[in-house]
Structure 1
Amino acid sequence: MIEKARVFTEEICDEMNHEEILRWLMEEYGNDIIQIAYTFLKNKQLAEDVAQDVFLKAFQHLDNFRKGSSYKTWLIRITVNRCKDVRKSWAYKNLVFTEYLPFKKVQASHENENEFISQKVLDLPLKEREAIILYYYESFKIEEISDLLKVNINTIKTRLHRGRMKLKKALEEGGTYGE
């Protein structure tokens, strides 16, 4: 049944029970959810914890899913909201990141260009980082990002523009910028 879900996309979920749907969602979108959570939290363990929370919440609310959006959009909205909650928490604000060590400054080359660019994206301030990630890495349209984040379309365009300019400057100078 799970293999059919991959072949026939989300429509087959109508024929699956909740456990099968959850399994399919985790296989299909698990890595995306962890990656998005990591871009917000910059901590692998927290990102994995958020992913577990997201799938638990999704499982609990499968009956309420209206199918007005795709499962991916629904899961990303849950992820973004959960990450914002974590970032506001006392534990997050007072957590010492032992896992996160700044990357050494490197010159972009063919071998490490993706890693270098990814690190520069992660160094962006949160609002610009989320716009860049959702637009370029997750291939959402500006209107979809606006709906997902519940922010005006022009605000998303501004965040994308500012993010691009900061990335361009950082890539040219090899520098960083703060949150």
Structure 2
Amino acid sequence: MTRNAFQHEEVFIQLIREQKERFYLLAYSYTKNEQDALDVVQDSIQKAMLSLERLEHVDYMKSWFYKIVVRTAIDFLRKHNRLQVTDNDTLQYLTPAKEDVYEDVDLEHALEALPQMYREVVILHYFEDLKLADVADILGIKLSTAKSRLYKALKLLKIQLQDVKGDITHG
């Protein structure tokens, strides 16, 4: 193993240690199942380790690994031909108690109601604090597509949240 590959491996191991909950939650947002999400993360780590030496810049490691997790999760769903819905209690239980936890149940419901292509842009941009350019790269879409999906997602969320607010005030 070259010195550079060894350094990449050390940085990668540190990234996994520090961000394992985030990677798990990202996988879980696709699989909606604890064990499947763990399998996706494990498969993603294995894939990353096998191709780590091809990563040119260690600065891109985080977004590179996010891309691997997203693609592995999508491949998993295609392979198993399923999409599942998660109940809120399970998702809340699995979410680590950090600043990213959103207590707004209406927002949580509205996010779950979004189509996957919009939800993933919102999650990666707002909950994972990734730049839109990185989100586009991770999802394999153009930056303009990521921007339009985010705009559409925010518009849909606003409508859903206004509907909920209207139901409360008029109900």
Normalised TM-score (structure 2): 0.73
| Matched residue, 1:145 | 135
Structure 1 residues not aligned, in runs of 5+: 1-12, 104-111
Q: Identity percentage over the alignment? A: 27
- Cα distance change on mapping 1:100 and 1:159 into 2, 3 Å: same
CA contact (8 A) 2:5 2:52 kept: no
Q: Determine the structure 1 residue equivalent to 2:73.
A: 83
Which residue of structure 1 aligns with residue 87 of structure 2? 101
| Partner Cα distance (2:129, 2:108) in 1 | 16
Note the C-alpha offset of 1:17. Answer: 8.1
Instruction: Show the counterpart of 1:107.
Output: none
State the aligned residue count.
Answer: 150
Task: Supply the distance in 2 between the matched residues of 1:17 and 1:129 (Cα, whole angstroms).
Answer: 31
One-letter amino acid matched to 1:142: L
Match of 2:39 in 1: 49
Q: Does 1:73 align with 2:59?
A: no
Gaps of 5+ in 2: 90-101, 166-171
Q: What's 1:156 paired with?
A: 146
Structure 1-normalised TM-score? 0.70
Q: Select which of 51, 57, 62 maps to 1:61.
A: 51
CA contact (8 A) 2:8 2:52 kept: no
Sort the Cα spacing of 1:122 and 1:74 in 2 relative to 1 into closer, same or farther, 3 A: same
Q: 1:174 to 1:82 in 2, by over 3 A?
A: same
Paired residues of 2:67 and 2:137 also in contact (CA < 8 A):
no
What RMSD, in angstroms, separates the aligned Cα atoms of the two structures? 2.8
Partner of 2:95: none
Q: Give the match's secondary structure for 2:104.
A: helix
Does structure 2 retain, via aligned residues, the 8 Å contact 1:39–1:129? no
Separation in 1 of the partners of 2:26 and 2:52?
A: 21
**Contact 2:27/2:73 (8 A) holds in 1:** yes
Greater fraction helix: 2
Indicate if the aligned counterparts of 2:121 and 2:149 stay in contact, CA closer than 8 A: yes
Q: How many Å separate the matches in 1 of 2:117 and 2:152? A: 10
Distance 1:143 1:26, change over 3 A: closer
Check if 1:31 corresponds to 2:29. no
